[in-house]
Copies of this chain bind each other. A is one copy, B any other.
Amino acid sequence: MGRLSRRPAQPDAPAGKPLALKTAAARPARPKTANRLKRIEAKRGAILDAALALFSRYGLHGTTVEQIARTAAVSKTNLFYYFASKEDVYVGVLSRLLDQWLEPLRDLQLDTDPIEGIGEYIRRKVLFSRTHPEASRLFCLEMVQGAPLLRHELETSLKQLVDAKAEVIRGWTAAGKLGPIDPYHLIFAIWATTQHYADFASQVDALLNTGLDDERFVEEVTRNVQRIILDGLRVRKDD
């Protein structure tokens, strides 16, 4: 390919398989003290933080490297010392993102009472929307645009996890502890409703003049989502 330069905007898509975060270790070898490595990771982290804030607001192509550098308080040239390209930064951000996004699902305690367990999951997802709105929005942006970079992870890590949790939900229903419901659509409904308050925050704000910044609203959202999702799932005699 010779001279590397700006590539056409489109093939965002071709996207390789594993989505591996190129670590500093890939750089020309040099004796690295623990301290040195720590400083490098700190700087990389600061750049990724700045990039998340910008990518989630303006998208990949709406954000310039210059902006990321300025926000992270490093020079543009310096940024290119830590990351091979803008796309490399983007991949780095997405990589951290998926882990964060998956965390509440991993922690979903399905070995308890279903109503309690699902209620707690909803609470944690709402909390995630509150504490990581930018992560939620960038994840959303990436999904909406076809998830070119995450597709592989979705089909492996995510699918495995979701399949396992779906099985437990089926078990609850079979045991008569939960009304009959398709577990996948239930999980989608929980994701959709809880993420909505982060992803569509501008719409919520336009209509209600508030958002997850307000702690009382967080409580209100949690209560209402729990009610909507759970009240139809209790076991009733008239079924």
Measured in the bound complex, the distance between the Cα atoms of B12 and A63 in whole Å is: 11
Task: Give residues of chain A (52-66) contacting chain B, Cβ–Cβ below 8 Å.
Answer: 56-64
Interface size on A, residues (CB 8 A): 61
Interface bits A153-197 vs B (CB < 8 Å: 1, else 0):
011001100100000000000000001011011101101110111
Residues of B within 8 A of A188 (CB): 193, 196-197, 200, 204
Q: Is A202 an interface position by the 8 A CB rule?
A: yes
Cβ A9 vs Cβ B58 within 8 A: yes
Let me know if B184 and A208 touch, CB within 8 A.
Answer: yes
Given that A154-B202, A193-B193, A231-B233 are contacting pairs, would A185 and B59 also be in contact in the complex, using a CB cutoff of 8 Å? no
Contact B191 A196 (CB under 8 A): yes
A140 at the interface (CB under 8 A from B): yes
Q: Contacts A185-B224, A227-B232 known; A143 to B192 CB distance under 8 Å?
A: no
Identity of the chain B residue whose Cβ is nearest the Cβ of A239 in the assembled complex:
B231
Verify if A127 is at the interface (C-beta below 8 Å from B): no
The contact of A143 among B162, B199, B225, by CB within 8 Å, is B199
The yes or no answer to A110 lying at the interface (CB within 8 A) is no
- A145 interfacial by beta-carbon distance below 8 Å: yes
* Interface membership of A203, Cβ < 8 A: yes
The answer to whether A196 and B203 touch across the interface, beta carbons within 8 angstroms, is no
**Is A93 an interface residue when CB atoms closer than 8 A count as contact?**
no
Q: Is the CB of A193 within 8 A of B200?
A: no
Taking CB atoms and an 8 Å cut-off, the chain A residues in 29-78 that contact chain B are 56-64, 67
A63 in contact with B9 (CB, 8 Å): yes
CB <8 Å contact, A10 and B58: yes
- Interface residue A221 (Cβ < 8 Å from any Cβ of B): yes
Interface residues of A (CB under 8 A from B): 9-10, 12, 56-64, 67, 137, 140-141, 143-147, 151, 154-155, 158-159, 162, 179, 181-182, 184-186, 188-189, 191-193, 195-197, 199-200, 202-204, 206-208, 220-221, 224-225, 227-233, 236
